[in-house]
Amino acid sequence: MATLVSTTQQQLGLLFDAVAVADRVIAQCFAFRAELIDQTRRFSEAHAGEIPRGPQALWSREEIAKRELSSELAVTLRIPERSAETLLAESKALVQDLPATRAALHDGVISYRHAQTIVQQSWSIPVEGLAAFEQALLPSAEHLTVAKLKHKARLLRERLHPETITARHAESIAQRTSSVEAGADGMATLFLTTGAELVQAIFTRATDLAASLQGPDETRTLTQVRTDVLSDLLIHGVTPTGVGTGVKATVQVTVPVLTLLGHSEEPGYLEGYGPIDPATARDLASRAPSFTRLLTHPETGVILSVGRDRYKPPKAMRRFLRLRDETCRFPGCNRPARGAELDHSHDWGLLGETAHDNLAHLCRPNHALKTQTRWSVAQQPGGILTWTSPTGREFITEPATILPTVLPTGPPKAGPPTALPPTAAASDLPDDPPF
């Protein structure tokens, strides 16, 4: 029996066909990008021997070339360096190891996410098994979703993998990790990747505890109670060895004074996250052990420079810089400033000063990158850093918080300062070695 299709439906069908064509073009662009990235990698490796090395260099020319390549690719595409390293590996696999997958991507038959699934599942398969792996998966990749293709690829990988799952799990557990992703409206997500049995045990225990707390007077849902239970355990709980006893989370919040006094609904600012609602900001401020006024009043005492009188920045300057930077200042890096090193942009050994406009936080990997490779940095007014890559291209990073750097002149004005950020006491700031 023939099905009648109206003119409207036919027009809608044509639009879907156009979407499919656009998707194929996108896939072809991904294939082209993979080819260019791998060409860049090969060029970099071929010319690694030309890289100059000073007498104090700790890295080999090959290591310098590798880090320069991944870091510049990262800032070029505005992605984390770890993502750039993965992209380099994926591009190499598509060009050298999985030609049929690259051809399917180039023809627009599969998407880049499908190609990624095949590539990532193939990395631990012996070279002699790659062709069979591709041939078994590619026909399915043309009509399966990425999730279903990944499931099929995992099953096939189990059959082709030379190592037992026990050996592979031992290697994978060494890669366990955790991270935080900021969300909207004052929310964030905590990610934990570890052994499946541990994750399941954590979730089951939290669910059981949440269920035990529910009753006729409980207005929260089971999901809400479980989330609150996990939060309480992580903040106030202890490890089996007692580590963490009495330890509470420390946060640094900037609260506009009118918000603090209840005369404004301007958001507060949570270090490492961003704007938070006024009620939460006021609650955190009410429980803060002390307040620090930063660069908003002549009585602050914040030191902006000690010139070349001393190498190590004083605590007030370090507090100022931590608030200003918030994260590592290499382009795209999100590692928090509290665990980073203060680096003299213009090296101290080359007559650089210990001043707010010559210091910036760099995490250890990117501090080493600046020291060992041909990356260089210069500070601009307002805490802006201009990074110059080994190929001579410039990239800019801006401070997380714009703080005034000129104290008012004349007699102090009456009234409170414009911002009151509760912080840890000065004695809580570690005397980390400056860099």
- DSSP assignment, residue 182? E
Q: How far apart are CA 103 and CA 69, in angstroms?
A: 26
pLDDT of residue 271: 67
Give the dihedral sign, CA 214/218/220/224.
Answer: negative
pLDDT of residue 397: 95
- The answer for residues whose C-beta is within 8 angstroms of residue 228's C-beta and 6 or more apart is 210, 220
| Residue 261 CB partners (closer than 8 Å, separation 6+) | none
Reference 235, options 244, 225, 224, 248; nearest CA is 248
CB contact at 8 A, 153 and 137: yes
Size (the chain), residues: 435
Q: Are 385 and 397 in contact (CB under 8 A)?
A: yes
**DSSP class of 305:** B
Q: DSSP letters along 4-19, please?
A: P--HHHHHHHHHHHHH
What pLDDT does 12 receive?
Answer: 94
Q: Is the distance from CB of 70 to CB of 81 less than 8 angstroms?
A: yes
Residue 83 near residue 333, CB atoms below 8 Å:
no
Q: What is the pLDDT along the chain (435 residues), one digit of tens a residue?
A: 566 778 999 999 999 999 999 999 999 999 999 999 999 999 999 999 999 988 778 999 999 999 999 999 999 999 999 999 999 999 999 999 999 999 999 999 999 999 999 999 898 788 888 898 999 999 999 999 999 999 998 888 877 766 555 566 677 778 888 888 888 888 889 898 888 778 888 888 888 888 888 888 889 998 998 998 888 888 777 655 555 544 455 566 677 777 777 778 877 777 666 777 878 777 777 766 665 544 333 334 444 445 555 557 778 788 888 888 999 999 999 888 988 999 999 887 777 788 888 999 999 999 999 999 999 999 998 899 999 999 999 999 999 877 655 443 444 444 333 333 333 333 334 444 333
